[in-house]
Amino acid sequence: MQVGFALDNANVLAQANSFKEQADAEAQWTNYFTDAVRVIRKSLSREDIFETSVKEVRRVMNSDRVVVYGLSSESNGVVIAESVSPGFTKAVGVTIKDPCFEARYIEKYQNGRVKATANIYEANYTSCYIEQLEKLEVKANLVAPIINEGKLLGLLVAHHCSQPHNWLAHEIKFFSQIAMQVGFALDNAKVLAEAGNLRKQADTETQWTQYFTETVKLIRQSLVKENILETATEEVRRVMDSDRVVVYGLNQESFGIVSAESVSPRFTKALGVTIKDPCFEARYIEKYQNGRVKATANIYEANYTSCYIEQLEKLEVKANLVAPIINEGKLFGLLVTHQCSKPRHWEQHEVRWFSQIAMQIGFALDNAQIIEQNSQTSELTQNQQQNIFLPQQEDLREVVIELSKNNQMIFKAFWNKALILSNHLDACRKQIQQMFETAKVMTTTASQAEQQVQKNYDLLEEERANIKSTLESISALEEAVSHGGIKVKQLNQHCQNLFNLINQLAAHLGKPNNSSYSMNGHFAENNLANGYGETVIVHTDDIHKLKEQLLEVIVETQPLLTSEMAEINQIVEVMEDKTQQISTWAKSLQTNEQKLDCIATVNMQVGKLVCDINQTAAIQTQTFQQAEQNMVLAEQVVEHIQEKLQFFTKWFAQLTTFAQNNTQKIIFWEHLKGFLASFHRLITSFTQKK
């Protein structure tokens, strides 16, 4: 019975050691996981995330190779990242194909399948797939999916190349969690990159809006056509950092001729050169009249005619950008910028700015023509009317000219404000669209984070259940150890009693007893007298032999009992020590349980926060949609105002011409003076209100 108690006690101690080893291993791999995630999250680009992940996983798991196997449209079946031990074949860039993979396993990995293979030759792989693995010396592998934005981006794969390997449960758990974290890190990097791009785009829009206002201001300072074109080409080449900017004439005076140019000193001058394309007038005049803007990154890839390319080659042109200049509703010419050193990709903001400047050149030419016509008309009127109503006419003429200039300046200022407002509205609308896209990304990311929070909650509940079960086992273990200790102490007491009894027996057998000898002597004499002498002698010899044998057994038993008692005392001490350790582990697990409760509380708070973020992102998405609609309506209003301003400008120019042709009619001049004054007040009031 006591031996059975000792065996039970040994089993209890073995279970206690097993629990401690499991707890220590779990704590160690949890530290590995948190350290690896912290390192991975420091990377902000896709390539850095993959590179860091494979290095960290191979370091922690001590495997021979860790790779990321691409399954996206860009890298299907290709090893896109690798960390490998020296002495083994490098796999990065290698294509690994399994004909059955897509049909049999894609959906499974999409749903979270994790596959651990201890020996590839016992895994029922296809022969061609085994051949590809043999090229990389693979003996065992572990595979987990990388999910990004809800799609299977690739697989995280660990290889053992030196020998087969039995993957432990904590290794598989760590590996699958890291694969999941790689997907989250990619989501996080994308959100940060998009936010950075938005900031960069906003800064770019602000910078190019500043370029626009400065360039328009310089162009409008010129009041002569030649000066306007010269200023425009210089400013456009400076801002866009191109090799040449020209104005290609399409009016009657300069059809097909370069009428203005700004060119880098190392390239051929094109001023005055005639550039003819036989197909241009038939195919493109109407398109440019309707506002066509053409950006060509490489003239040899633009399907140009051979003769047109020859003419461009004479001017070393590699890339060009073309926008129409509209003057008085007609196609005056083309504003063209050339890149001669090499082909060039024209950015969207460059194309938009360039087309707006071409439009402003047309407005500046309109304004210069109006001023020139007013000046000519004023001189003609002065020559014709110098002797007729000279005092009244001079006074009225000055008033009309002053009102005309004031109204023209008001129209010009109002037009510029409307144009700047249009540009700002366009930039705001694009920024709102970008913020709308960001809000949608935030909604998606928040949903994924909410799912992860739920997964974390489930894992915490599972760990709490495990700890509770472990505590219950430890409690039963403590009770069993305590009961075993009592039984062992009882066994020790029994052994001690037996030891004392044996000592007493040994002492008694070792001492001579006179009374016994005397009694035995009388008994022997009586037997001898009665004729039983031989029998008595025989029994006495047997008794002496048994006594000697008993003494020998006692001598052999005493050291054994002494040794067993010593071992039992050691067992008692060990059991008491283990009982204290088990109590300490129980307290530690209770502390961990409390910490898990805290983590669960924090996780619930995070879940609530993520839910609030998701709701806020949805509201912002709706707000951005409404704001975008309002911006579109505002742009339509601004376009309508610009059309009306053009109409008023032309009408005012015609009115001025008509008035100058009727300067002899003093009554007309008086009425015109009053009308222009009223019209000036009306326009001024309208401008202030707008």
> Does the pLDDT value for residue 319 go beyond 70?
yes
415 with 280, same domain: the answer is no
Domain-located, residue 40: yes
What range does the domain containing 650 cover?
399-443+633-688
Per-residue pLDDT, averaged over 603-609, amounts to 70
Domain-located, residue 127: yes
* 65-70: strand order across its sheet: 79-84, 65-70, 151-160, 140-148, 115-117
Residue 263: predicted pLDDT: 93
Domain-located, residue 137: yes
CB 67 within 8 A of CB 89: no
CB 121 within 8 A of CB 146: no
Domain-located, residue 213: no
Question: Which of 154, 174, 194 is where one domain is finished?
Answer: 194
CA neighbours closer than 13 Å in the CB half-sphere of residue 325: 27
Q: What are 628-661's pLDDT values in tens digits? A: 677 677 666 666 666 666 656 655 555 555 555 5
163 with 293, same domain: the answer is no
256 with 187, same domain: the answer is no
426 with 294, same domain: the answer is no
* 319-327: strand order across its sheet: 258-263, 244-249, 330-339, 319-327, 294-296
257 with 141, same domain: the answer is no
* pLDDT band at residue 25 using 50, 70 and 90 as cut-offs: confident
185 with 230, same domain: the answer is no
| Other Cβ atoms within 10 Å of 518 Cβ, number | 10
44 with 179, same domain: the answer is yes
Per-residue pLDDT, averaged over 88-98, amounts to 84
Query: What is 6-23 written as a DSSP string?
Result: HHHHHHHHHHHHHHHHHH
pLDDT, the chain, mean = 76
| Other Cβ atoms within 10 Å of 536 Cβ, number | 17
Residue 247: predicted pLDDT: 93
Question: Which of 194, 211, 245 is where one domain is finished?
Answer: 194
> Does the pLDDT value for residue 530 go beyond 60?
no
Query: What is 264-307 written as a DSSP string?
Result: -TTS---TT-B---TTHHHHTHHHHHTT--EEES-GGGTT--HH
CA neighbours closer than 13 Å in the CB half-sphere of residue 653: 19
265 with 186, same domain: the answer is no
189 with 226, same domain: the answer is no
Residue 664: predicted pLDDT: 47
| Other Cβ atoms within 10 Å of 115 Cβ, number | 17
Q: What are 376-418's pLDDT values in tens digits? A: 665 655 555 555 445 555 555 555 555 555 555 565 666 666 6
Domain-located, residue 179: yes
Give, in degrees to the nearest 5, the angle at Cα 53 between 47 and 54.
95
What are 338's strand-pairing partners?
244, 320
241 with 159, same domain: the answer is no
39 with 144, same domain: the answer is yes
| List of residues 6+ apart from 523 with CB closer than 8 A | 536
Residue 119 belongs to domain with CATH number: 3.30.450.40
Residue 163: predicted pLDDT: 94
Residue 16 in tokens = 């206690």
> Which of these ranges, 210-219, 290-299, 522-531, 586-595, has the smallest mean pLDDT?
522-531
> Does the pLDDT value for residue 504 go beyond 50?
yes
Residue 412: predicted pLDDT: 60
Domain-located, residue 154: yes
Highest mean pLDDT (candidates 23-27, 212-216, 584-588, 626-630): 212-216
Q: How many structural domains compose the chain?
A: 3
Q: What are 112-156's pLDDT values in tens digits? A: 899 999 999 998 888 888 888 899 999 999 999 999 888 888 999
Per-residue pLDDT, averaged over 167-176, amounts to 91
DSSP symbol at 470: H
Domain-located, residue 106: yes
Domain-located, residue 113: yes
Q: H or E stretch including 62?
A: none
> Which of these ranges, 224-238, 272-286, 313-327, has the smallest mean pLDDT?
272-286
37 with 184, same domain: the answer is yes
